[in-house]
Amino acid sequence: MTDKTPLLIDTDPGVDDALALLMAFNDSRHDVVGLTVAAGNVGLKHTVANALKLCEVAGRADIPVFAGCAGPLLHPAPDAGYVHGQDGFGDVGYEPAKHKAEAEHAAQAILRFSHAHAGKLLLVALGPLTNIALALKLDPTLPQRVARFVVMGGAVTCQGNITPAAEFNIYFDPEAAHIVFDAFERIELADWEAVIAHGLHHARVAEWLKAGTERGRFYDRISEKTRLWSIDRRGDHWFAADALAMAYALEPDGALEVLERPISIELEGRHGRGATVVDWRRQEGLPDKAAILMRYDQDRFESLIQAALAAG
Ligand code: BDR
Ligand code: CA
């Protein structure tokens, strides 16, 4: 028996997913029980290969990786290969991991882990919510067994990154997001606007990447392309979205301001599709279900990243 918190991560690696995973691997109070993988940043073949490779590089090939949905529930959506590289890991041509994904589907694995760790499971979603929506369709009682559910997604005043109003993870599969946001009574949310408020200065990131560890060297390679893209497009700060969500998940006491509000997912409209509509003034009388991260201790966030890259 372990008194560590069981942590299940649904992810679409993805350069910022990789950083978040390294943070989770480096946390002694959490036990990463599995990675369930979705398509999102790039296609499923790549996101699964990337998850396996990251585990191998980190010496964590013992963590089972489960392939999930190869696309959104209903409507095809464009990926983010232009940010993360066409293979999702910067197109550096890494040698594939030696081990393979499990045979079990990610949605079934989510349900199995929810039973195995009922009442204790920390579920963190770093990609489109397709796998979790499918798990909910298979078994709507899933939320009863999840202790905490942390999501990277949304843009809480509709200042999106993929459309003017929508954030990538939600926009990629709004129907899945609708199912998930409807089903869970409480969702701890690190949205894109919080990410923008917690940028990482490129010069500091470059310093951390000199750690000289295998993890740091690999991360330097796979993240170079997206960091250069970011300098070109977004200026001095890098926005590692999934890393902020993981900081909130691993060390929630680092949150300096959290606001609870009702939230719903918009499915239609040229500008509205994929938007996360927060009822800031509680006009509709719906229950508060999103615990929205507004401010996180920046020093704590940066220390978690630095330590994850320096870990050997
Ligand atoms: C989210 O979209 C993806 O590109 C990132 O991995 C992150 O999960 C940010 O909007
Ligand atoms: Ca992601």
pLDDT (tens digit, 9 = 90+) per residue, 73-127?
999 999 998 888 999 999 999 999 999 999 999 999 999 999 999 999 999 999 9
Mean pLDDT of 219-241: 95
Residues, the chain, total? 312
- Which atom of ligand 1 lies nearest, measured to the CA of 17? 6
Tally of domains in the chain: 1
Between CA 272 and CA 278 the distance in angstroms is 13
pTM: 0.98
User: Is ligand 1 within 6 A of the CB of residue 14?
Assistant: yes
State the ligand closest to the CA atom of 241: 1
User: Is ligand 1 within 6 A of the CB of residue 48?
Assistant: no
pLDDT grade, residue 303 (50/70/90)? very high
Q: Enumerate the β-bridge partners of residue 265.
A: 276
Q: Enumerate the β-bridge partners of residue 276.
A: 265
How far is Cα of residue 66 from the mean position of the Cα atoms in its chain?
16
Mean pLDDT of 226-245: 95
CATH number of domain containing 173: 3.90.245.10
Kindly give the distance from the C-alpha atom of residue 154 to the centroid of ligand 1, in angstroms, as a whole number: 10
- Which atom of ligand 1 lies nearest, measured to the CA of 13? 6
Whether residue 189 contacts residue 156, with contact meaning beta carbons closer than 8 Å, is answered with yes
Output the pLDDT for position 236.
Answer: 94
Give the mutation target among 84, 169, 192 for probing the ligand 1 site: most ligand atoms within 8 A of CB.
169
Q: Residue of the nearest CA to atom 10 in ligand 1?
A: 168
Kindly give the distance from the C-alpha atom of residue 224 to the centroid of ligand 2, in angstroms, as a whole number: 17
Mean model confidence pLDDT for the chain? 97
What percentage of residues in the chain have a pLDDT greater than 70?
A: 100
Task: Tell me which of 58-62, 227-231, 257-261, 281-285 is least confident.
Answer: 227-231
Domain of 174, in residue numbers: 5-310
Angle, CA 56 vertex, CA 50 and CA 60 arms, to 5°? 115
Taking the CB of residue 92, how many other CB atoms lie within 10 A of it? 14
Largest CA distance in the chain: 54
Whether 134 shows a pLDDT value over 80: the answer reads: yes
Output the pLDDT for position 1.
Answer: 56
Give the mutation target among 16, 23, 233 for probing the ligand 1 site: most ligand atoms within 8 A of CB.
16
Q: Enumerate the β-bridge partners of residue 218.
A: none
Query: In this structure, what DSSP letter does residue 64 have?
Result: -
pLDDT tens for 177-212 read: 999 999 999 999 999 999 999 999 999 999 999 988
Between CA 87 and CA 91 the distance in angstroms is 6
Output the pLDDT for position 211.
Answer: 85
For residue 240, what are its two tokens? Answer: 């590692």
Output the pLDDT for position 84.
Answer: 87
Give the mutation target among 54, 83, 152, 248 for probing the ligand 1 site: most ligand atoms within 8 A of CB.
152
pLDDT grade, residue 237 (50/70/90)? very high
Mean pLDDT of 15-30: 98
Q: Counting Cβ atoms within 10 Å, is residue 86 exposed (0-12), middle (13-18) or buried (19+)?
A: middle
Mean pLDDT of 59-84: 95
Between CA 119 and CA 100 the distance in angstroms is 30
- Which atom of ligand 1 lies nearest, measured to the CA of 239? 9
User: Is ligand 1 within 6 A of the CB of residue 152?
Assistant: yes
Phi, psi at residue 183, to the nearest 5°?
-80, -35
Mean pLDDT of 207-221: 94
pLDDT tens for 150-163 read: 999 999 999 999 99
Output the pLDDT for position 295.
Answer: 98
Whether 130 shows a pLDDT value over 90: the answer reads: yes
- What is the distance between the terminal CA atoms of the chain, rounded to a whole angstrom? 25
